[in-house]
Structure 1
Amino acid sequence: MEPSVGEDDVRVGDTDRPSDGNGPSALESLMKSSFGPVLIALGPAVIYVALSWVLFLALRPRIPRVYSPKALKGIQAPSELSSELPAGWITWIKPFLKISDTVLLDKGSLDSFLFLRHVKTLCVICVVGICFIWPILLPIHKTGGRIPSDLTIPTEDKTEKYYAHVVVCWFFTGFILFMVYRECVYFINIRHAYFLSSNYTQRVSSKVILYTCVPSEYLDEKRVRKLFGDSVVNFWAPNTTGKLKALIKEREKTAVCLEEAEITLIKRSNAARSMPQPFRITSLYTTCTNWIHRSRPVPKRPKLEDVEKGNIQNWTCERRELPQQDQSRVHVSESQGHSPVSTHTEYSHPCDLGLAFPETNNSPASQRLKYHQRPSHHVLSKLGRRVDTIEWARLHLKSLEEHINELRQEYQSGTGQPMNAVFNEFDSCANAQAAYQMPAHHQPSQMSQPVLGVRPGEIIWSSLRIKQWQRLVRQYVILVLLIIGVAIWWLPTYVVSIVTNPDFMRDYSPALATLPLIPAKILSGLGRAILLVVLLETVPFFLRACAKFTGEPTLSAVESFVQTRYFVFQVVQVFLAPSAIPQVIFQPTAVLKFWVPLSSSFYYTYILVQCLQASAWELLQFVELFRHQIKAKSSRTPQDGYKRWHKLNLVRWGGIYPVFTNVGVMAISYAFIAPLILAFSVTGLCCVYFVYKYNLIYVYDTKALDTAGAFYPRAVMQLTAGLYLAQMYLVGLFAINSAWVQMSLMVFLFISTVFIHVSLRNVINPLLRSFPRTLSHDGEGFDAAEDMVMADCTDDVSQTTFNSTAIAGHKSAQPDKGLVMTRVLRRLALPSVDDLQQLIPRTPLEKEFPD
């Protein structure tokens, strides 16, 4: 006996449940279709995106620091400045659309260029699916008979129509596997072209290899040089800093405290100077002192007439020094013919009692303030006694500097404990690549994971001291923790699904039960998708902490760790929702026959919310807008303002790639069940492409974290998860409907997909990490020719002009494309390494490690 449709499924609202027999209205009929709730949820999402666009168009020309910082000369280097766009509301869109993605290879990085290509690849897959799947499956789904929801796969007894799904699945699977292979080969070619360019080979970091888990006997420089030969130019074996690192942090903290105290003193002094004399507040200390000395005769000051007449025998006047700025006023008044005495007869020294502030009694700022008005704080080492902040910070910095110099001399002498890591700089990139590809140690897990091209800013220094056995223990602990985390994360997802279920709102929340139909559907459809998106956004922070605990040596390795695990979280939480897990165990046929097709309406909403929300959030830059327009007004020091102004946002690819890769997986998985999901996916991905292209060119710092595109092939390979999910669903559906021939064909396709996927990984993976010697040998002529061209260029010719001329010459040398079919074939053909070398910028060498 089949269960009622959506009876216990929390992901399917009551709009998908059978009618009660009373004649439904037009609105109820719309609600009962699979597309009605999506249209209702689409309204708020479109309004949110429209408001974000209006605010962006209005604020972009007014706040360039937030919306185009990479076009400002004070932030970016002259060679890295992005081209300025018109300041109008919509006049900038057309010039922006003309900018090619290859600009990111010069102004950005290979990672940013490949991310945009990944989004475009997903769009191409969806568009091809629309052109091929819709004409075949949509008529069948609409006229298939007894169906659980409109425009989804039919569940009828006439199984001969399932042959259409088998044929479509075979061709679409072949196309996706072709795209996976093509993009992997394209990545290999452009990565090799990138490694051969002078933009990479002239970097010092391209010749440096970091070895971790190094045995103690190979921490010696002589032994390492004997191991790698004469190609090693420099050798560094870092030692543990111990207390030195803590003292340096304390010195930085004390310096910031001193800077804040000095700024506070200046502000208070300026406020006291600008305040009118009658309105100045007299301190309690000054009032008491004046009362004690009230009976003492106060000497009268000579008037101007007495001074001019010379009657000053009975007058006593204390000579007082004028500040430097007041002396200048005296000279100015004398030069203008005025009497200097009349200008300063009302001047009174702020230190009437002769209080001497140590080292600051002559500064103008300290002379305008009383001692208790100076910045002060409580010090725990002096039993909480309040001390003057400026004087304490100066003395403390002096003592810290002496102690730091002593520890630094001990550190440079090699007395510290060495870490389990070494840095080797080689004389050429070819020798560095050869050392990188060759195993350095004969024992397993010893020096087995070298890192090539590492920069000092990417290194996690605390991870270098972790020993090999500690690293293995930590990895197993994190593995168990992640497995438990995936299971535990089902609980909040299940709670979100339950709370936003219409049945729950009707039974347990009388206030929500009285809501009209449309608001209730918005809450149950759009609200559920928003809560799920927000819940999954917290996962990358947890995974980054786990990666650092396992001992990943660089930030790039941390993001790679996050990308792999976060994709698993995305697939499990979205496709294997906890609402379906109990039903899979007890009623698997009902899940395949009813709940999986009906849940497609939820994924329509989820894709729209995920893509539109991400694009609107990234477009408007809420966080940066708050930092530069609100928080900037409360900057306590100029240093804070300088850092806030010059620091750009860092792109963390580990938390970005899995989100949109999962959108592609959802589109592929439901392409044969609910083909309309392809249209929603391509719409959302187009918005994501436009927004991220703008941000990567004008907003984000893409060069601080450079992995030479290592995230791209992993994301492309992860698309095969969508094929597996779609094929397994079709196999199960054909089995429960006794379509044995169709099921056999799908089982054969599933096995073939696994075989092709494994073979592709075995062929591609060696080329993803290694660098062929044939390209290294052939590339020497290219580098030599490039150096000659660079040397022949005159100084007055910009490098940008040189790049455009070279690319134009390369395009002009190509033969005429001719017919349309020829153009299509050229598009499908993979460009060679020589062709891709023309896209890599030939920028002049800049100082990578400034003094």
Structure 2
Amino acid sequence: MYNPASSSRPAPFTVHSNATGTADWTMDSFDPTRTFLVPRQASASSSASASGNAGDARGQQGSSLSAFLSTLIPIFVISSIIFLFFLFLQKKYDRVYGPRTFLQTLDSDERSPKQSPGMFGWAKEFRQLADEFVLGHSSLDNYLFLRYFKILILISFVGCLITWPVLFPVNATGGADEATGFDILSFAKINDSARYWAHSIIGVIFFSFVIYVITRESLYYAYMRQAYLLSPYNSSKISSKTVLFTDRNPGALEHIFPNIRYIWIAADPEDLEDHVDERDQASVKLEGAEMKLIKNYVKKQIKLNKKNKRGDSEDGRLREQESGTFDIAPKERPTHKLKPLIGKKVDTIDWARGELHRLIPEVAREQAEKRNPKSKKLAAVFIEFNTMRDAQAAFQQVAHQTPFHLTPRDTGMPPEQVLWNNVNQPWWRRKLWSAFGTALSTFLCIFWTIPIAFAGIITNINFITDKVPFLAWIQDIPPQILGIVTGLIPVVLVAVMMALVPIILALIARQFEPTMPAVQAKVQKWYFPFQVVQVFLVTTFTSAATAVVTKIINDPTTAPTLLAKNLPKASNFYIVYFILQGLMAAALQFLNVVPLLFSLILGKILDTTPKKMFNRYVTLAGLGWGAFYPKITLLGVIALSYAIIAPLVLGFATVGFGLMYLGFRYNVLFTLGTQIDTKGECYARALKQLITGLYIGEICLIGLFAIGSASGGGGLISLGPLIIMVVMLIATVIWQMEMSSALAKHTRILPADLLADEYRDEPMEGEAEKGGLENGHSKKLGPATSDGLYQVPHAAEPPAPPAGIMGKFKAFVFPTKFASAAVLSKYILSPHLTKPVRPYTEKEREDAYLHPALTAEVPLIWLARDPHGLSRREVDACRREIGEGVEVTDEEAWFNEKGKIEWDQTNPQKAPVWEDAPEY
């Protein structure tokens, strides 16, 4: 399925003015000082004639409103056109733009309300639904992802209220005459170190507010996670009471852990997994080859019918059905080579049937033999405990006297998110892989600097041609070609390199992490530093240095001062960057490009069997949190870094985050599912990573204060702002250490008092009719209501969240009172989360955490029925030649009069491959 997270980082568009005066745009992420906002001159000679030092003039030119608009208007037009496409297409392609409103594979309380008719009908439900709707009808991850945007909007907007009234007049009257355009509102305008006091005091106020918001949100996440995990919906799952232990020594586990309900030993099935893969691949090949044979025959008959209007072909079809023979030449049958290029060519259908005839009984025999492993090797083990309290206690304790043995690795992981090839790795191999991944990510941060910096220099090549003689020939290149060289080539280079990084990191993490959520967490941990270094720091400092390289060459001793003055000018890039990201990201999210392409083109090419069509139709795409959060967090880091240096950035960040929030909100409400459930872990890590913006902002101010004080004099008075910011930096470090220490366990482990007061045991078959459920401590849940919901008791009745504007302010300021787990559980969790999952059958419980190779059933072969009877003949032949153990059918899918495959999308439960899978 399509995963939006797999796409590369959305790059901004750069508008250049060409020789004719018209705007041409390319995607670019460089030249923060002028790329977007300074019109490019027709040639170097004309620039030189207008000024005695063209390089200096370009290096000092500020951002004008006209240049800003010349950049913004084309992007606004493009994003508007994209949004218009969405408006025209969204009713026609409901599977692309509203699958959550009608898919029968979702429970009724998981679906979003059906959109109102009309081009703008979706806006009514979009406006009326609260974000908390996502929490109950989709997932905790999707809800927190939207909340992350709201937090960034809040920080940016309140930052405007804090910084603009003071810093705008202070900067605008700063006295640096060379600063023009937007630069007059930034630190670049300051020429008097005494004015640094305003920046230091406002910086302390704003950074303190950010610290409070991050602290408050970390507490909110801890409470929300507790309420979510303790909800009847989640706590009734087997996974909520199951703990994964790695490096288990042979021995009786019952003597170590009390209250064990079930044990699954994750022993390596050895050759069985390979044989299951061979069987399944043979099934896929057979299904594809059969459909290719039938489809080609149907198309041939359609052509014959068009040529013979007298109906002779119809008579021939009847004769074929009666005789059971069809006019299919041997060369028309699908073939393939057993090995690429050099392998023997075989008839695919005959080969696949023979392979299935051999492998089906062989796999069944091995599954029976290896279901109860007797290996003496270290192995992972999944243990289901009687209660969540027992599971949490086991998850926290040191279970074995030997270090790294019987280590609790995770709890709450469903079996479909376990990476089975990794759970049995010895601890030392996991340590080596983890160290290798960390070293590789560090290496990428350093190594990627060279090509990224080179691309940044290419975009600013005009700045250095005046002083570097051997590059003078560049000025003779026609403007149109130069625009491609400085705009398109760097973008393509960077886009390819950036797209590869998260893929590489994910491949490394999948070599040792035991679960898919752990892989996402590791990718997020590795990928964020790369984003900060390569996308932000290298781009900013390289372009700032390049913009003043001619002055540095003339007088190298001025380098620190020049960089200090030009670093604030780099904010000009990010002023437009946020608007551009907001407009384009929102428009592209609404358009949902990749699913639309699959619906229009790619799906028709790739989905050649009813099973593939079914799987694509009923599966909802999800976001890849490990690669996606770092990109959004980076934008927050940029906003925090420039909040005091160039406070105008905060205004554009507010708009940009707001637009992105709207685009992603539509998809979360109406199109997206959750492929990987981290239970909000990536959100918590993103909050911690956002602190990087505080450090960068504080360090940059310290550097600017130090350079400005040293060059501008001012005595002890000018040292005050520097001292204040150093103290602020130290306070930030202490705060982060204390907060991380205080919340570390609360964001990973459920508190014992909540487990004692609010524990909800899973419902067993027949217990729902008894008026209540017994939990592990003999406390009853409230009686079941008429709609099957269970009331959750609390040690004390929690206060209702206050209403009104002042009420919301109180709830924000006092999260421990108005956003506790008890409050969130009672007032926020939706009816979906107050329903337990359906009871498990005995077989479902026994097979829950067995290796998939031990429980994998023979894939059903699903063909589409044709009007000529060929599919029925192939079904009979498959059953006869393969033998017992395989199910082959041509029901519930058919060829229409145009030879296209169809199936009943309105009732997917009727499909032969439909199964009511348990929620583990």
User: Is TM more than 0.5 here?
Assistant: yes
Instruction: State the Cα distance separating 1:269 from its structure 2 match.
Output: 3.6
| 1:96 CA displacement | 1.1
Q: Following TM superposition, by how much is the alpha carbon of 1:211 offset from its aligned partner in structure 2, in angstroms? A: 1.3
1:724 aligns with 2:757: no
Q: Give the deviation of 1:57 after TM superposition.
A: 1.1
> Which structure carries more relative contact order (alpha carbon 8 Å, separation 6+)?
1
Give the distance between the partners of 1:477 and 1:203, measured in 2 at CA. Answer: 36
Q: Among residues 662, 682, 703, which one is paired with 2:634 in the alignment? A: 662
Instruction: Classify 1:729/1:363 alpha carbon distance in 2 versus 1 (closer, same or farther; 3 Å).
Output: farther
Are the equivalent residues in 1 in contact too, given 2:241–2:388 (CA < 8 A)? yes
Q: 1:80 to 1:846 in 2, by over 3 A?
A: farther
C-alpha distance 194-748 of structure 1, shift in aligned 2 (>3 A): same
1:271–1:416 distance in 2 versus 1, CA, 3 Å: farther
For 1:782 and 1:558, locate their aligned partners in 2 and report how far apart those are by CA, in whole Å: 30
Instruction: Return the letter of the residue paired with 1:97.
Output: R
Corresponding residue for 1:106? 136
Partner of 2:837: 845
Structure 2 match to 1:173: 207
Partner of 2:598: 627
- Judge which range, 52-61 or 259-268, deviates more: 259-268
Q: Is 2:353 aligned against 1:391?
A: no
Are residues 1:224 and 2:186 paired? no
Native 8 Å contact 2:802 2:810 kept in 1: no
The one of 233, 240, 243 equivalent to 1:199 is 233
Matching residue within 555, 564, 567 for 1:596: 567
Match of 2:261 in 1: 233
- Note the C-alpha offset of 1:346: 8.8
1:57/1:162 Cα in 2 relative to 1: closer, same or farther (>3 Å)? Answer: same
Is the CA contact (8 Å cut-off) linking 2:293 and 2:334 kept in structure 1? yes
Residues 523, 56 of structure 1: CA spacing in aligned structure 2 closer, same or farther, 3 A cutoff? farther
> Which residue of structure 2 lines up, in the alignment, with residue 309 of structure 1?
none
Asked if the contact 1:41/1:525 (under 8 Å) is kept, the reply is no
Matches of 2:313 and 2:457, distance apart in 1: 80
- Contact (CA 8 Å) 1:41, 1:526: kept in 2 or not? no
Write the distance in 2 (CA, Å) between the matches of 1:815 and 1:155: 46
The one-letter amino acid paired with 2:514 is P
Q: 1:498 to 1:191 in 2, by over 3 A?
A: same
Percent identical among aligned pairs is 28
The corresponding residue for 1:577 is 538
- Report the Cα offset of residue 189 of structure 1: 1.3
- The 5 Å alignment of 1:212-611 reads 212=246, 214-217=247-250, 220=251, 223-229=252-258, 231-274=259-302, 276=304, 366-379=325-338, 386-414=345-373, 420-503=379-462, 507=472, 509=474, 513-515=478-480, 535-549=497-511, 551-577=512-538, 580=541, 589-590=560-561, 592-611=563-582
Distance 2:382 2:216 in 1: 36
SS at match of 1:672: coil
Q: Which amino acid aligns with 2:232?
A: S
Q: CA deviation at 1:695?
A: 1.0
Sort the Cα spacing of 1:494 and 1:749 in 2 relative to 1 into closer, same or farther, 3 A.
Answer: same
Question: What does residue 613 of structure 1 align with?
Answer: 584
Is the 2:236–2:760 Cα contact (8 Å) retained in structure 1? no
Structure 1 position 185 matched with structure 2 position 219: yes
SS in 1 for 2:677: coil
Taking the aligned partners of 2:212 and 2:343, their CA distance within structure 1 comes to 71
Counterpart amino acid of 1:79?
D
**8 Å CA contact 2:249, 2:378 repeated in 1:** no
Can you list the C-alpha shifts for 1:374-403, whole angstroms capped at 9, x where unaligned? 334445699965543323321221011232
Is the 8 Å Cα contact of residues 238 and 419 (structure 1) preserved in structure 2? Answer: no
Say if 1:122 and 1:664, in contact at 8 Å, map to a contact too.
Answer: yes
When the two structures are superposed, what TM-score results if normalisation uses the length of structure 2? 0.74
- Matches of 2:564 and 2:739 in 1, distance apart? 34
Give a deviation string over 1:196-227, Cα, whole Å, max 9, x none: 21111101111111112x1433xx4xx21111
Amino acid at match of 1:735: A
The answer to whether the 8 Å contact 2:698/2:729 transfers is yes
Q: 197-206 or 498-507: which moved more?
A: 498-507
In 2, are the aligned partners of 1:13 and 1:502 still within 8 Å (CA)? no
Q: Counterparts of 1:663 and 1:144 in 2: how far apart (Å)? A: 28
**Residue 679 of structure 2: which of 692, 700, 708 is its match?**
708
Q: Where does residue 209 of structure 1 map in the other structure?
A: 243
Shift of 1:29: 11
Kept after mapping to 1: 8 A contact 2:171/2:190: no
- The farther-off stretch of 754-763 and 672-681 is 754-763
Question: How many pairs are equivalent?
Answer: 749
Q: Does 1:144 align with 2:192?
A: no
Q: Distance in 1 between matches of 2:720 and 2:144?
A: 41
CA distance in 2, matches of 1:155, 1:49: 34
- Contact persistence 2:800–2:823 (CA under 8 A): no
Which residue of the partner structure matches residue 339 of structure 1?
A: none
1:647 aligned partner, one-letter code:
T
Alignment of 1:148-159 (within 5 A): 148=179, 149-154=183-188, 156-159=190-193
Q: List per-residue Cα deviations over 1:477-511 (Å, max 9, x = no partner).
A: 22222221111111221122122225179756567
| Shift in Å, 1:86 | 1.3
How far apart, in 2, do the equivalents of 1:240 and 1:34 lie?
63
Structure 1 residues 154 and 346, CA, compared in 2 at 3 Å: closer, same or farther?
closer
CA apart distance, 1:560:
0.5
After alignment, is 44-53 or 421-430 more displaced? 44-53
Distance 1:576 1:76, change over 3 A: same
Of residues 835, 839, 844, the one that matches 2:823 is: 835
Equivalence for 1:60: 90
| TM-fit CA distance, 1:829 | 2.4
Distance of 1:574 and 1:586 partners within structure 2? 28
Relative distance call for 1:560 and 1:382 in structure 2 (3 A) is closer
Q: Deviations over 1:180-204 (max 9, x none)?
A: 1111111111111122211111011
Query: Which stretch shows the higher mean deviation, 11-20 or 530-539?
Result: 11-20
TM-score (normalizing by structure 1) = 0.80
Alignment partner, residue 33 of structure 2: 12
Flag the 1:390–1:731 CA change in 2: closer, same or farther, 3 A. closer
TM-fit CA distance, 1:779: 1.6
Amino acid at match of 2:591: L
1:642-661 aligned within 5 A = 642-661=614-633
- SS at 2:381 equivalent: strand
SS of 1:80's equivalent in the other structure is: coil
Mapped to 2, the partners of 1:732 and 1:749 lie a distance apart of 14
Q: Once structures 1 and 2 are overlaid, which stretch shifts more, 104-113 or 537-546?
A: 537-546
SS of the aligned residue for 1:89 comes to coil
Query: Which residue does 1:302 correspond to in 2?
Result: none
Matched position secondary structure for 2:187 = coil
- Which residue of structure 2 aligns with residue 84 of structure 1? 114
3-state DSSP of counterpart to 1:769: coil
Describe the shift of the 1:12–1:278 C-alpha distance in structure 2 as closer, same or farther (beyond 3 A).
closer
In 1: Cα distance, 2:337 partner to 2:192 partner: 84
Find 2:101's aligned residue among 46, 66, 71. Answer: 71
Provide the residue aligned with 1:338 in structure 2.
none
Whether 2:609 is the aligned partner of 1:637: answer yes
Residue number among 659, 666, 669 corresponding to 1:694 in the alignment? 666
CA shift at 1:158, angstroms? Answer: 2.4
- 1:406 and 1:64 map into 2 onto residues whose CA distance is 46
The 1:533/1:761 distance shift into structure 2, 3 A limit, reads farther
SS at structure 1 position matched to 2:510: helix
Q: Which runs of 5+ in 1 are unaligned?
A: 1-8, 281-328, 330-341, 351-361
* Residue number in structure 2 paired with 1:824: 809
TM-superposed CA distance for 1:418, in Å, is: 5.1
Per-residue deviation, residues 43-90 of structure 1 (Å, max 9, x unmatched): 332223212211111111110111111112334233321111113222
